Amino acid sequence: KRGLPTKKRLPILTRSGKQRLVAWTFAILYDQEQSIDGLITVGEDITERTHLVQQLKHSQEDLFRAETIAGVGHYNYNFARNSWTSSQGLDQILGIDADYTRDFTGWLNLVIPQDRKAMQQYFQDEVLQQKQPFDRAYRILNRRSDKVRWVHGRGQLVLDDAGQPVRLFGTILDITTVKNTELALRLSEERFRAALEGAQEGLWDWHLETDYVWHSERFATMLGYDHSEVPFHISFWQEHLHPDDREAAFARVQEYLADPLSRIYSSEFRLRHMDGSYRWIVSQGKALLDSAGQPVRFIGFNSDRTAEHELTEQLLQKERQYHEMFDQHSAIKMLINPKDGRILEANHSAAVYYGYSKEELCQKSIMDLNVLNRAEILARMENARERKTNIFEFQHRLKDGQVRDVEVHSSPIHLNDSMVLYSHIRDITEYKEQSRRLTMLSTVVEESPAYIVITDPDGIIEYCNRAFETVTGYSAAEAIGQTPRILKSNKMPIEFYEKMWATLLAGEVYRGEIINKKKNGELYWEEAIISPVRNEQDKIIHFFAIKQDVTDRKKTMQDLQTAHDRAEAANKSKVNFLGSISHEIRTPMNAIIGMTDLALELTSDEQVREYLDTVRLSAKHLLDLINDVLDTARIDSNRQELRLNSMNLIAEVKQVMHMMQVKADQKGLDLQSRLAGLPDVEVNGDARRLKQILINLIGNAIKFTESGFVRLAIRAD
């Protein structure tokens, strides 16, 4: 019921029919749920030993008489007379003769001075007062040899009816040799214990028949116990075994004890620490055999290997973490043999990137991916192995034939006693293209005739190109770290700057012109476009300004304005002049027209009338021309007006053709008109302006035509 081993002595009948007496030991086995799992039974044949015990009983009297030979003497102390008698053997041990005073004081005087007080106290307190048997080892000084001897005194009190001591009868055994041996053994044991403690080993000695287990202090302290807290029984070990290790540990012990001559016992298991945790223990030992070759004692030591196991577990954990980091990392990773370029391991990202399965990749060499030749690749790997260079740019070919630019970081690491290259691969195809574009843009910006300034959100200049240096006179080193206020001319009102910053801080692009001052103090006009630059969080991180020196343009514009103003004034004067002379010309022209009309009324000669009619039309045209000149002047001064009236388009065209016939005849040209489809209706327009346009067109045609005809064709849309 208590779960402790049980011992019984029971006879058995052997196969030969003989009866033997056997000492049986029964022990219960428990499973992980602490349920009974089985019974272990160990039997020891004690037939011969029992016979020996019986023989010893018969020989007790003979053995008692032989005590003198064995260095034992006896005494008999009489309390009433305060005297004691001693055997010859005891006299020899004490070195006294028959004349020695044999009383209590005489006995105390035999005890060496260092032990005398303690022995007197022991005798008074424990023997006399507590009525305990005398049983004490102490040192005496042999009177003959004057040498210290160790003796072991034993005595039994004889009490009277009142319970008072009457006599003390006992023996004194010379144990000097034993004590010297014990001392030597103790010194040896102390040296052994010191060695064990230095080695942090816990010694144990298991008596297999009784299950008594002696153990050293270290045996207990490695499990957090005080030495006195650990019972000297095998059950302590059994109860503290880890449930998962118990069956294997028991089996290992039984396996060894079944054949102890062939090997040394060694086993590893976990024992429960006092704090509830488990410690890894390596136990090693050897069995001591009896004359029959059977194990009777099992001696060994325990070593605490918890730290080693924890270190091993940490290493295993780190290895698992490494594999997880390697295989599941989003970056492309490979392990490469630097001697021949074989891909030893590749992660999932590498398989996805190159288009191969992991198994396919691990059957390839890096030479299958890198477009360089084998010699160049081996040279690069040697540089990586020797840590001369660890970052490379290559071109790698994917399974689908694409060639991509990659950046490879390779470092040598030790793996399974070998050195391999741990390579981290990054696709930089887009990066290189962006770098190329950035270089191009940087060149464009740097070489731009417009000067460019980049500031931080506080307006601190972070970049300026060469054009800035050329225009302002400030070098980049002088400008960077300053604000654009170094160019401030104090010619612009404060409202200008407030409006500019309000526009920029609102996230809008500012466009405007400003007067600034160069390093040498010279003022100049600049045209600026300033744009805020935002990050992904829509926060302004820079201001980007493109500026141009427009001082010359501003001067040209000013000169043009001045010229324009002068032209306006001149044109006004011209209009006034033409208005003045037009009056002087109209008067005689009107007189000519009037006189021609009168002459037409007075003559009937057709030839004359035709000439007069031509004169009349030409005079009228000249009058219109004067009006046109005046109108042109008015157009130049934005004072032109159209006179819209009802007119017949065909009649107006025929009038012009009649007027231009004289010029055509003079050059021998045939003047024609084609007015097909032109409606004979009244239209709203400026007849004078229309005739002026037609006369100019026909006049130019006649002027530049040497022979043939000139035709005016008009159609209606």
- Strand-pair partners of 148: 141
Interval 504-529 mean pLDDT? 93
Taking the CB of residue 217, how many other CB atoms lie within 10 A of it? 17
Share of the chain above pLDDT 70, in %: 91
Angle, vertex CA 467, rays to CA 465 and CA 468, nearest 5: 70
Q: What is residue 610's predicted lDDT score, i.e. its pLDDT?
A: 82
Q: What is residue 63's predicted lDDT score, i.e. its pLDDT?
A: 42
pLDDT, tens digit, 9 for 90 and up, residues 502-513: 999 998 999 999
Return the SS3 of 151.
Answer: strand
Of residues 186 and 192, the one with the higher pLDDT is 186
DSSP 219-263: HHHTTT--GGGS-SBHHHHHHHB-HHHHHHHHHHHHHHHHSTTSS
Task: Please state the pTM of the whole predicted model.
Answer: 0.37
| DSSP H stretches of helix in 396-550 | 429-447, 466-472, 476-479, 494-505
pLDDT, tens digit, 9 for 90 and up, residues 59-99: 544 544 555 566 788 899 999 999 999 888 888 899 999 99
User: Which amino acid belongs to residue 486?
Assistant: I
Is residue 427 over pLDDT 50? Answer: yes
Give the C-alpha separation, 384 to 274, whole Å: 53
The beta strand positions in 519-630, using DSSP E, are: 523-534, 540-549
Report the topology of domain 314-374+397-427: Beta-Lactamase (3.30.450)
Residue written as tokens 């401030």?
488
Give the C-alpha separation, 246 to 229, whole Å: 22
Asked if residue 41 lies in contact with residue 26, where contact means CB atoms within 8 angstroms, the answer is: yes
Of residues 557 and 526, the one with the higher pLDDT is 526
Interval 381-391 mean pLDDT? 91
Distances in Å between the Cα of 593 and the Cα atoms of 405, 585, 620, 689 are 94, 12, 7, 20
**Range 555-559 contact pairs with CB under 8 angstroms and sequence separation of 24 or more:** none
Return the SS3 of 182.
Answer: helix
Q: Lowest-pLDDT range, 144-158, 284-298, 580-594, 609-623?
A: 580-594
Most confident residue range from 198-207, 369-378, 682-691: 369-378
Q: What is residue 60's predicted lDDT score, i.e. its pLDDT?
A: 45
Report the topology of domain 642-717: Heat Shock Protein 90 (3.30.565)
The beta strand positions in 553-668, using DSSP E, are: 645-648
Domain ranges within the chain, ordered by starting residue? 6-56, 69-174, 198-304, 314-374+397-427, 433-549, 642-717
Give the C-alpha separation, 298 to 260, whole Å: 10
Q: Which residues contact 27 (CB under 8 A, 6 or more apart)?
A: 5, 6, 39, 40, 41, 42
Is residue 191 over pLDDT 80? Answer: no
Asked if residue 457 lies in contact with residue 540, where contact means CB atoms within 8 angstroms, the answer is: yes
The DSSP bridge pattern shows strands 418-427 and 403-415 to be antiparallel
Q: Which residues contact 561 (CB under 8 A, 6 or more apart)?
A: none
- CATH architecture for segment(s) 6-56: 2-Layer Sandwich (3.30)
**Looking at the chain, how many residues does it have?**
717
User: Which amino acid belongs to residue 198?
Assistant: G
Residue 579's nearest CA partner among 640, 626, 638, 625 is: 626
Which band of pLDDT confidence, cut at 50, 70 and 90, is reported for residue 159? very high
Which band of pLDDT confidence, cut at 50, 70 and 90, is reported for residue 678? confident
DSSP 41-56: EEEEE-HHHHHHHHHH
Is residue 357 over pLDDT 60? Answer: yes
The torsion angles phi and psi of 244, rounded to 5 degrees, stand at: -75, -20
Specify the CATH number of the domain 69-174: 3.30.450.20
Report the topology of domain 433-549: Beta-Lactamase (3.30.450)
Interval 361-372 mean pLDDT? 94
Give the C-alpha separation, 381 to 367, whole Å: 11
C-alpha atoms less than 13 angstroms from C-alpha of 439 in its C-beta half-sphere: 6
Is residue 54 over pLDDT 80? Answer: no
User: Which amino acid belongs to residue 571?
Assistant: N
Distances in Å between the Cα of 173 and the Cα atoms of 68, 84, 177, 203 are 9, 17, 11, 32
Asked if residue 399 lies in contact with residue 352, where contact means CB atoms within 8 angstroms, the answer is: no
Q: Do the domains at 433-549 and 642-717 have one common CATH topology?
A: no
Residue written as tokens 């319970």?
163
Which uninterrupted H or E stretch holds 396?
A: strand 391-397
- Strand-pair partners of 601: none
Residue written as tokens 């056997």?
22
Sign of CA dihedral 295, 298, 299, 303: positive
Is residue 168 over pLDDT 50? Answer: yes
Specify the CATH number of the domain 198-304: 3.30.450.20
Distances in Å between the Cα of 402 and the Cα atoms of 83, 354, 365, 436 are 119, 9, 18, 20
Is residue 57 over pLDDT 80? Answer: no
pLDDT, tens digit, 9 for 90 and up, residues 228-255: 999 999 999 999 999 999 999 999 999 9
Distances in Å between the Cα of 261 and the Cα atoms of 293, 295, 484 are 9, 10, 97
Give the C-alpha separation, 142 to 637, whole Å: 159
Report how far apart the first and last C-alpha atoms of the chain are (Å, whole number). 130
pLDDT, tens digit, 9 for 90 and up, residues 442-486: 777 777 778 889 999 999 999 999 889 999 999 999 999 999 999
Quote the tokens at residue 140.
């005496």
